[in-house]
Structure 1
Amino acid sequence: MRAWGPGARISGRAVLAGVVGALTGTVAYSVSRTGGQTLSIIVGGLAGVALVLGAEFYHRSAQLTEVQLTLPGSVMVFSANTDMRQAALRMFFQASTRVATRPLEAGSGNLREALTSLKTLFDLYREPLESGAAPPPPARGDSVHEIVLDILNFELAPFLSKWHPRLRAWESAQGEDADEAAWPGNAAFRQDLEDLQRRLRPYVIGLGEIAGVRDPERHLRRSDWSPGSGNVPVPHQHGTGPDTR
């Protein structure tokens, strides 16, 4: 299910405010015949409640948190509100559960699935920008989607445009019995993927910091669990595990 965009949320708030205002006006009109003093007390009470609730709502939804990130080639400052933090959290989760940040061990994994996972991440990052669902740029500071544009344009797009046609051409030449272990580009692909993962890490960690994730880097590290260590691994549930392709 797609979350509401900023425009839908603003429209919803405007409708809610109109309904509350109409109800308040109706109540005020109904009690106006009881006398000025009673009316003043009731209207004043309603106004006080509305003021308190409005202030609390604003505090929760529009409070700004300033985050400064040092990223490759630039220092960016973000005045993160709720919309920006939610967008950053989605993008942090999307990247931290995929091969974009998860290791692909030598001699294991599927290179075609790895490319498909990266292409899916590319589409997930690009879709809000193209559909208009992305939060509008903030009045001051940088936008979280500037990070996304760098990831798309300078990291994911070059990698996909380089390796997707090469692997596809080899697969087409080999037919259905193609074994990726025999692909001459296998080792170079894996090395290039490691380099891509290393470059993406600061961006993904930065998204986690904007989102307010406590110690986002630890989610990109391997678990230190090993037999006899005393640490208990999280049970894997079929169909709910992360996409580590």
Structure 2
Amino acid sequence: MTKRLDGKVALCTAAGQGIGRKVAEAFLQAGAKVYASDRDAAKLDGLKAFGIVDTAALDVTDSDAVAAYLKRVDTPDILFNCAGFVHHGTVLDCDEDAWDFSFDLNVKAMHRTISALLPRMVEAGGGSIINMASAASSIKAAPNRYVYMATKAAVIGLTRSVAIDFIKSGIRSNAICPGTIESPSLEGRIEELGKSVGGTEKAKTMFIERQPMGRLGTPEEIAHLAVYLASDESRFTTGTTQVIDGGWSL
């Protein structure tokens, strides 16, 4: 049986855990060859059980390292940019270092991969770029997410800009905007919030209660959407913000 991504090459950043890991696994299971990277290469262990994968340690905030890595990979049909960081706090809690780091990891890292790979993808006839944004952006306001929301709104703008500029070159560019998803990142935020609200169970309940469906989303649910955007089934879809948040932004 033909798989949805048979014959395609995908490149995934932050593929060691959480959403990035499940997307890499889903791409492999759908038949793609995957270049999977993460700052901690040990977290990529086990991916080979799912298909043909090339794993590598990569710090996407290091321009030289990114350039060297991308030179050695095959031209991808699919680029999935997942690396990111959630800064907690208002504008008064965000100094210049926090601002610069958040934009470097959440936005400029995508610029690094896209600007390097886009000419090759165009020459090869096109491809799908999928960027991880968030419902907490220009879509939905969330408290204590000042610079995080700013970066994710920027990701949406970046995504749409690439979509309109290269629509006639066979490039599709879409953003995924999740709500609250079970992940190591969320666990860290729950632990931090728990310090001020009376424990991690109370903190987790607060995150669940803001989801109208009464539950958290799963990385697998995000991965299903990513496979669709990566596949030819979505060939008429570009420049979109795909909200998958359990109704949080309603």
Band of TM-score, shorter chain? under 0.3
TM-score (normalizing by structure 2): 0.26
Bigger radius of gyration among the two = 1
- Higher percent of residues as helix: 1
Q: Which has the higher contact order (CA 8 A, sep 6+)?
A: 1
